[in-house]
């Protein structure tokens, strides 16, 4: 059973950049699709970005498209979320998620489709 440990996050000024990492143990991201979600105070968890287990397809929410990039390093068994041009509305707790070898990409944005989750990390963007 894979376990996900997140690093990164913290306080950043608007317009700045951050990279979140999600390291897998007990498995490798070579065999897992990766997803990133976030939850702001008083709001529901929302999809941010996802990548199929083959790495052939990525999906992004409209709110982050063009600013955020999801990637996987299979050798390091780590998934990343590179966040550029950050805005105050990006402030949230960010969660990584993994799902074993599921085909297709239409499910990437659905949090209930993922079996494994990281512990979450706070990202705060100051104006």
Q: What CA–CA distance (Å, rounded) separates 100 from 115? A: 8
Please report the pLDDT score of residue 121 as a whole number.
98
For the cut 90, the answer to whether the pLDDT of residue 12 exceeds it is: yes
User: Tokens 């990133």 belong to which residue?
Assistant: 36
Please report the pLDDT score of residue 117 as a whole number.
98
Please report the pLDDT score of residue 1 as a whole number.
84
Please report the pLDDT score of residue 74 as a whole number.
86
Please report the pLDDT score of residue 39 as a whole number.
98
Read off the pLDDT of residues 58-103 as tens digits, 9 standing for 90 and up.
999 999 999 999 999 988 899 999 999 999 999 999 999 999 999 9
Work out the number of other CB atoms within 10 angstroms of the CB of residue 85: 13
For the cut 90, the answer to whether the pLDDT of residue 113 exceeds it is: yes
Read off the pLDDT of residues 25-53 as tens digits, 9 standing for 90 and up.
988 899 999 999 999 999 999 999 999 99
Please report the pLDDT score of residue 75 as a whole number.
87
Q: What CA–CA distance (Å, rounded) separates 25 from 82? A: 21
Q: Could you give the 3-state DSSP secondary structure of residue 108?
A: coil
Q: What is the mean pLDDT of residues 112-116?
A: 97
């Amino acid at each position: 059973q894979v376990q996900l440990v997140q690093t990164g996050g913290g306080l950043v000024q608007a317009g700045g950049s951050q990279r979140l990492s999600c390291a897998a143990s007990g498995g490798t991201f070579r065999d897992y699709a990766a997803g990133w979600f976030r939850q702001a105070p008083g709001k529901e968890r929302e999809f941010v970005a996802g990548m199929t287990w083959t790495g052939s397809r990525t999906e992004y929410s409209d709110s982050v498209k063009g600013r955020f990039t999801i990637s996987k390093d299979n050798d390091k068994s780590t998934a990343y979320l590179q966040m550029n041009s950050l805005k105050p509305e990006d402030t949230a707790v960010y969660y990584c998620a993994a799902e074993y070898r599921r085909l297709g990409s239409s499910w990437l944005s659905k949090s209930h489709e993922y079996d494994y989750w990281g512990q979450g990390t706070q990202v705060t963007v100051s104006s």
